[in-house]
A and B are shown apart, each in its own frame.
Chain A
C-alpha cells in the first residue's frame, strides 16, 4: 500500500484513526503495530514473515549485546553486534542483490548460474538499516536496549516510515514508544505535512513522471527533449521522495511520533557537500555514523581518506539499486566531493554564488540522469544527448509541445523546490493581521489540495474502453 492511493487515504487511514483514538492509550501501540502489519501485508503478503524474522533477529541481538555489555564481556558483545550486522546485511544482500551478483559472476566467469528472480521485499533497505542502527547504538551504549518485543516490532514496522523512510534512528523514537502525548498542534502540523507531501507526490512528481515517460516513449529524440526529461526527472525524484518523507513525518505526528527532517531544499545548495547535507539526510547521516566514521572518517592519511570517501559513496550508490548505474552514480558524487575539497572549493570561493549553484545543479541533473538510466550505455547515451553529442535535431514539434504543456508544472516545481513559499508565508505573517490571514487561508488551502489530490488519484482509474469504437 502506498500513501498516495485511495485505498490508503479513504479506507486504511480513517479506520486506523477511529480505532487508534478510541482505544485506551495502553492499547495504542498494539493498534499501530497491527495496522503496520496490515499495511505491509497489503503490499507484501508473503514477505511479512521475512520482516518479522528480521525484527526478531534485531530484538534478540539487542538483548544479547546488552547482556554481554552489562557483564562487561566486550568481546562477546562485539561479536553479537557483528552477528546482527551480518544477518541484516545477508538478508538485504540475498533479497536485493543476489541476481546482480549472479549476473556479474556469469559475465566475468562465463558461467551459467540461474537467476533467483526474487521479488525485492518492499522497504527491506529501510527496515534493515533501522535494525542495524538499533543494535549498533545498543552496542555503543548510546541507546537503551528495548525489552518489549511489541515496542521494538513497532519501531521497525511503524507504517509511516516503513516503505520509503526516512530511516528513523531508534534513539529518535525510543521514548515515544513508551509514552507519547497527542495534541491539536501536532495533529495540525501532521495534516499540513501530510497534505503537502501528498500534493508534492501526486500533483508534481507523478505529473513530471508522465513527462519522463513521454520522453522515453518518443522515437525521435532531440537535445531539447533530453534536457526537458533531465530537469523533469530531477524535479520528479525530489518531489517524489521528499513528498513521501513529508507524508511520513506528517503521519508520525498524527500518532505522536516526531521523525527528523529528511530533506532541506537540496536544490538551493551551492556545493555538492551541501547538497548531500540537504538530500536524504537520514541516509547520509546513517552512512556517516555507521560507515564513514568507523572507517576513520577524515582523520586518516589522504590515501585512506580517498578510499573511505569512495567506498562510502560506492555503498551509497549500491544501496539505491542493484545495478551498475547506481554504483556509478554513487562514485560520481564521491569523485565530485573529492574534487570539491581539493579544487572546486577554492575556485568557487572566488566566483559569485550563482556559478557554484549552477555547477551543483548541472552535476545533480547529470547524476540523476545516470541514476534513472536503464544501464551504463543508456546513461552515457543520455548524457551525450544532453550535450548535443548525438546526431539529432536541437528541437522538434513534439519537444516544443511537451515544453509548452508542462511549462507551468515545471515552473511550479522549480519554485516549490526552493524555500520561496515558506519565506513568503513568513513575510505575510510578520505583517499586521498577517498571522490572521495565514490562519484563515491555511485550512482552506489544505482542503483544496486534498480534494485536488483526490481528483488526480481518482482519475488514475480512468481507463476508457475504446477498442470497439473506432
Chain B
C-alpha cells in the first residue's frame, strides 16, 4: 500500500466513523433509563432562546449527547478494559475488582460524618427512646474484607468504631464485624447475602436476649438467577451474574407488610421486582421510608423497631419469628421529627442497623 492509498484510507475511515455514529445517534430512539447506573437518562432538551442564552440548553444537550450515545454501554466496557488491561490502573471511577468480586472505594474516613451519625442516634434516643432497650450495630462494607490486604486505600475502621463508641450514648453495641466474611456479600453488589446471615442473626440474638434458636430456624431457599448487582453495571466489564437466594417459611409467607409511603399492604418478598432496575428491591420493596411487618403466628407481643438502610431489608425477615411486629424506618426518606406521627414509641426493642457507607455519608440522614 503506497502513501496515497493510505492517505485515502485514513481520511475515509475517519469520516466514516464520524458520519456513521452521527447518523446512528440521529436515528436511534432515546433510552429512558440506564439499568447499569439506575437513573433516568437525559432526553433531547427543548430549545428556547432564553435557555440557549443562559447556557442551560447547552448543558442539557451535552448530557443528552453523552447519555444517549449509541453503544454507550459497549463503549463503557471498552473504556474499562483499556483502563484495567492496557493502562493497568487499579480502579475505574472508584470501582475495582479482586477475584471477580467488585468493590467500590469508600475512603477517607469522614470523622465529622461519623460524629454526626452518632449525634443523630443520640438525638433519636433522647426524643423517643428513653428507657427502652436500644442496640446499635454497624455493618462493614465489602472493602473491610479486601481493600487493605490488596493495597487499596480504605477507611480506618478502628477509628470509625472508636468514634461511634465514644459518641453514642445509652445504647448497647452489637459487633457484627466478626460475624461476616467477604463470602457473605454478593460479588457484584454492595449488599450482604441473606442466605449467609445466620452468624449475624445469632450474634443479634445473643446480644438482644432473643431466642438462641433464632439462627437455627429452617427456611426454604428460593434461588433467583441471574442477579446483576449494583456494581455489575458500574464495573462495565463482562462479569458472570450470580444467584440471589432468599429465605422463606410460613411465618414470612404469611406476614403482612404495610408500606406507609404507598399506603398499601405488600408481601415480604416481591419476586416481581427481581430483574427490574434493582433486583435487591425484592426484599421489602426496596427503598421505603417507613414500613411494618406483622407476624400473624407470633408467640409473643414483642415488637422491634429497626432504624436501617437497605441492608436491613434482607435481615428483618430473619428476625420476624421473635416479634409480633417489626417497624423499619429509613431516615434517608423520613425526618426524625415526623416519626412520632406514625409510631407509638413505648416498650419496643430498638435496633440501629447501619452500614459503614451510611455512617461515612451521614448527611443523608434526616
Contacts and interface: CB of A to CB of B under 8 A. Distances in A.
A440 interface: yes
Interface string B1-42: 111111111110111011101100100000000001111000
A171 to B, nearest CB: 28
Nearest to B230: A469
B87 A409 contact: yes
A455 B63 contact: no
Contacts of A195: 14
Interface stretch (A9-17, A150-158, A306-314): A9-17
Main secondary structure of the interface of B (DSSP, over half): helix
A225 to B, nearest CB: 12
A270 to B, nearest CB: 30
Contacts of A408: 86-89
B67 A461 contact: yes
A9 B37 contact: no
A412 B86 CA distance: 11
A452 B14 CA distance: 14
Given A398-B153, A404-B151, A455-B82, A14 B66 contact: no
A296 B25 CA distance: 57
B10 A442 contact: yes
Interface in A385-404: 397-398, 400-401, 404
Interface residues of A, number: 64
A6 interface: yes
Given A406-B89, A467-B364, A461 B66 contact: yes
A401 B151 contact: yes
B53 A46 contact: yes
B287 A468 contact: yes
A447 B55 CA distance: 33
Nearest to A407: B88
A458 B278 contact: no
* Among B10, B58, B86, B355, residue most surrounded by chain A Cβ atoms (within 10 Å): B10
Interface residues of B, number: 73
Interface stretch (A127-135, A159-167, A182-190): A182-190
B326 interface: no
Contact of A5 (B3, B62, B86, B286): B62
A443 interface: yes
B357 A470 contact: yes
Contact of A460 (B3, B11, B66, B236): B66
Nearest to A440: B1
B6 A443 contact: yes
* Among A18, A458, A465, residue most surrounded by chain B Cβ atoms (within 10 Å): A458
A169 interface: no
Contacts of A96: none
Interface of A: 5-7, 9-11, 13-15, 17-18, 42-43, 45-46, 184-185, 187-188, 191-192, 195, 207, 218-219, 397-398, 400-401, 404-409, 412, 435-436, 439-440, 442-443, 446-447, 450-452, 454-470
Closest 7 CB pairs of A and B: A461-B66, A188-B7, A465-B39, A455-B79, A455-B78, A14-B22, A405-B90
